[in-house]
């Protein structure tokens, strides 16, 4: 018996060492630096890794796509008020792609592979095959992590040294288990059972594999400082309510700010429209508390107490205690039966006590519904299919950025809709909901929802201030630049000029005032500086009149008029002066 206890103690000590390694290597949660609008040199995908506690989310691919648009590799165009109508256009004269990181090239290659005639709808970027989505996103994840490690901003959570230490300890545990098996006569010459060293090797292999398993990334000293700085950028962006409701096409004005906003989780609408995977129920947007943020959700499945009713738990506890008592009474002479009886008796008593306390300490939680899905089903009979009787319900109560789903009886599912604010009465130990009260109605916030014109109308007005009238450019001015007749039409982000006859966009004029205007001006101060402080950079020109920033972008066939952009800016200055 002493040998068995020694082997059990060895396994327990190894598990304790492994647990301590996991505790001491948990990724840090650095405090944000002071709010700032100064961007750093790190790519948006790497920033997404750092600000999410060294865990990569779908923000990495989405922010990379926006960054490619900001750097003119692609164009994002929104022809109407619905951001879901956004289309991605391949640039006819993109910059050199030699400087792209592998994960940036991977996103660009997917867009090029799906484009037909140089255009792909934004909704077509979503994967339709789960295995393809998993493979593509895993490849992108490894590439981003490798880049972060090269920069010294990330490292393996369980280092190779720690894995080696755990393997050495596992070898000692294997010897202890093998010795206990040998001492009990397992594997001796007269025994047909597996030899004792098979137990030793299996124990060593299992524990070594567990110790070598990847647990993701963790922080470094440089990574913590960089993450704190980017968290300061996130706080600055979140301080402006309008920023969260910017559509993807706004990258034409906000430049890389929108890409980094997606990376740090500050762009609710743009991130909702963009989707480069199958969707993630474990990372859900929430507006509870007045600020858009993402909440990580864990879904309990395997523990038998989760979601169970009070009678079920009481019966199970009584059954365990009763079986254990019977074993102790009638099979007490066998040592292993004695231990089994004691374990069952203690488990039954524990379940009874915890079930009673669970009812006594039931509490109320108020929060926003994040996600609801079927959890457990049962078959009524052979002729009828399985019917659900318990759902998972994830609630954000505003206490933390992580939560665990509760067990919701299916008959109450109709009372809980995504985005609703509800008050639930719960039993914490069994995680079962016993009462639901809807406090406030909310629209669906699923990541695949379509944003309607009514929801973006206010934003559209804010993006086109009164300073845009009288018009700075006439149709004749634009026709002189692009070399063909044009017609103008209003858009949520400004005015779009299309070629007469074909209807294809050739020029986009956008204007912003106030804080968005100052940010747009800062983002577009690049390229050739013109008299009066305007800038021309390739297909784009930017200038300020008073407190309003104007951005002119040539598109499609209109790019042939690059040489005339300085003249067009001068025309705007003359009209404004008159």
pLDDT, tens digit, 9 for 90 and up, residues 50-65: 999 998 888 899 999 9
Beta-bridge partners for 435: 425
Q: pLDDT-derived band of residue 463, with 50, 70 and 90 as boundaries?
A: very low
- Least confident segment among 252-266, 339-353, 490-504, 562-576: 490-504
pLDDT at residue 491, rounded to an integer: 67
Mean pLDDT over residues 182-195, rounded?
59
Backbone dihedral angles phi then psi of residue 310, each to the nearest 5 degrees: -60, -50
Domain ranges of the chain: 2-26+159-212, 44-156+217-280, 281-446, 464-577
High-pLDDT (> 70) share of the chain, %: 87
- In this predicted structure, the answer to whether residue 242 has a pLDDT above a threshold of 80 is no
65: CB partners within 8 A, 6+ apart: 74, 88, 107, 111, 125, 274, 276
The mean predicted confidence, pLDDT, of the chain is: 82
Distance from the Cα of residue 412 to its chain's centroid = 29
Q: Is the peptide bond before 470 cis (omega within 30 degrees of 0)?
A: yes
Tokens of 510: 């956008």
Distance between CA atoms of residues 405 and 372, nearest Å: 9
pLDDT digits (tens, 9 = 90+) for 347-402: 999 999 999 999 999 899 998 888 888 888 876 666 666 778 888 899 988 888 88
* CA-to-CA separations, 112 to 89, 106, 130, 194, 489, in angstroms, rounded: 9, 10, 21, 58, 29
DSSP string over 493-531: TEEEEEETTT--EEEEEEEEEHHHHHHHHHHT--SEEPT
Distance between CA 182 and CA 180 in Å, rounded? 5
Q: Cα 212 to chain center, whole Å?
A: 26
Which fold is adopted by the domain 464-577? Protein Transport Mog1p; Chain A (3.40.1000)
Q: What is the mean pLDDT of residues 83-102?
A: 84
For residue 159, the number of C-alpha atoms closer than 13 Å in the C-beta half-sphere is 11
Residues 106-134 have pLDDT tens digits of 999 988 888 877 888 887 787 756 677 88
pLDDT higher than 60, residue 47 = yes
Cβ contacts of 87 within 8 Å, gap of 6 or more: 76, 77, 79, 119, 120, 121, 122
DSSP assignments along 262-310, one per residue: HHTT--HHHHHH---SS--TTEEEE-TTSS-EEEEEE---S-TTTT--H
Which pair of tokens denotes residue 190? Answer: 């007269």
Q: Which residue has the tokens 């507006």?
A: 287
Statement: residue 9 has pLDDT above 80? yes
Helix/strand/coil for 152:
coil
Q: What is the pLDDT of residues 171-181, one digit of tens each?
A: 988 888 888 77
494-503 average pLDDT score: 82
Specify the pLDDT at position 44. Answer: 95
Q: If you average pLDDT over residues 417-424, what whole number do you get?
A: 83
The pLDDT-based confidence of 471 (bands split at 50, 70, 90) is low
Contacts of 315 (CB under 8 A, 6+ apart): none
What is residue 244's predicted lDDT score, i.e. its pLDDT? 82
What is the mean predicted confidence (pLDDT) over 252-270?
88
Q: CB–CB of 544/572 below 8 Å? A: no
Exposed, middle or buried, 293 (CB in 10 Å: 0-12/13-18/19+)? middle
The rounded distance, in Å, linking the Cα atoms of 294 and 477 is 46
Say if residue 334 is exposed, middle or buried (CB neighbours under 10 Å; 0-12, 13-18, 19+): exposed
What CA–CA distance (Å, rounded) separates 394 from 211?
32
* pLDDT tens, position by position, 300-354: 877 788 888 899 999 999 999 999 999 888 887 777 788 888 889 999 999 999 9
């Amino acid at each position: 018996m002493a040998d068995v206890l020694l082997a059990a103690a060895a396994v327990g000590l190894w598990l304790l060492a492994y647990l301590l390694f996991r505790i001491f290597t948990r990724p840090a949660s650095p405090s944000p630096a002071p709010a700032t609008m100064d961007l750093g040199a790190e790519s948006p995908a790497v920033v997404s890794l750092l600000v999410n506690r060294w865990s990569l989310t779908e923000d990495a691919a989405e922010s990379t796509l926006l960054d490619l648009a900001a750097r003119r590799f692609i164009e994002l165009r929104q022809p109407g008020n619905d951001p879901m109508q956004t289309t991605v256009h391949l640039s006819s004269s993109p910059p050199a792609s030699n400087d792209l990181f592998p994960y940036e090239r991977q996103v660009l290659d997917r867009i090029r592979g799906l484009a037909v005639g140089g255009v792909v709808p934004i909704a077509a970027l979503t994967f339709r095959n789960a295995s393809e989505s998993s493979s593509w996103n895993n490849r992108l994840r490894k590439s981003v992590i490798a880049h972060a490690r090269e920069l010294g901003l990330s490292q393996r959570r369980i280092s190779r040294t720690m894995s080696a230490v755990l393997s050495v300890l596992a070898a000692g545990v294997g010897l202890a288990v093998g010795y206990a098996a040998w001492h009990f006569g397992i594997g001796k010459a007269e025994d047909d059972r597996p030899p004792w060293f098979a137990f030793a090797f299996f124990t060593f292999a299992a524990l070594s594999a567990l110790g070598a398993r990847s647990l993701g990334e963790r922080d470094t000293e440089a990574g913590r400082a960089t993450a704190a700085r980017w968290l300061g950028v996130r706080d600055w962006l979140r301080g402006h309510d309008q920023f969260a409701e910017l559509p993807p096409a706004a990258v034409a004005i906000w430049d890389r700010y929108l890409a980094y906003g997606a990376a740090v989780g500050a762009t609710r609408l743009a991130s909702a429209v963009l989707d480069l995977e199958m969707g993630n129920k474990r990372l859900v947007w929430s507006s509870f508390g007045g600020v858009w943020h993402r909440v990580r959700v864990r879904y309990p499945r395997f523990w038998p107490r989760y979601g169970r009713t009070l009678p079920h738990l009481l019966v199970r506890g009584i059954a365990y205690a009763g079986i254990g008592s019977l074993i102790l009474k009638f099979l007490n002479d066998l040592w292993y039966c004695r231990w089994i009886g004691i374990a069952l008796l203690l488990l039954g008593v524990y379940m009874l006590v915890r079930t009673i306390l669970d009812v006594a300490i039931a509490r109320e939680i108020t929060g926003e519904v994040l996600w609801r899905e079927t959890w457990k089903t049962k078959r009524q009979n052979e002729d009828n299919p399985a019917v659900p009787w318990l759902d998972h319900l994830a609630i954000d109560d505003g206490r933390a950025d992580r939560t665990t789903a509760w067990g919701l009886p299916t008959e109450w599912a109709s009372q809980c809709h995504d985005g609703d604010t509800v008050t639930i009465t719960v039993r914490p130990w069994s995680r079962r909901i016993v009462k639901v009260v809807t406090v406030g109605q909310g629209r669906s916030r699923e990541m695949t929802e379509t944003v309607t014109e009514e929801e973006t109308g206010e934003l559209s007005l804010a993006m086109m201030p009164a300073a845009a009238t009288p018009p700075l450019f006439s149709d004749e001015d634009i026709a002189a630049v692009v070399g063909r007749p044009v017609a103008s039409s209003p858009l949520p982000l400004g005015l779009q000029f299309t070629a007469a006859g074909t209807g294809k966009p050739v020029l986009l004029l956008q204007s912003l005032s106030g804080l968005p205007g100052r940010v747009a001006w800062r983002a577009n101060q690049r390229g050739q500086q013109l008299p009066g402080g305007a800038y021309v950079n390739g297909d784009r020109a930017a200038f300020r009149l008073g407190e309003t920033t104007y951005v002119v972008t040539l598109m499609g066939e209109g790019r042939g008029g690059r040489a005339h952009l300085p003249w067009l800016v001068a025309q705007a200055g003359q009209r404004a002066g008159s």
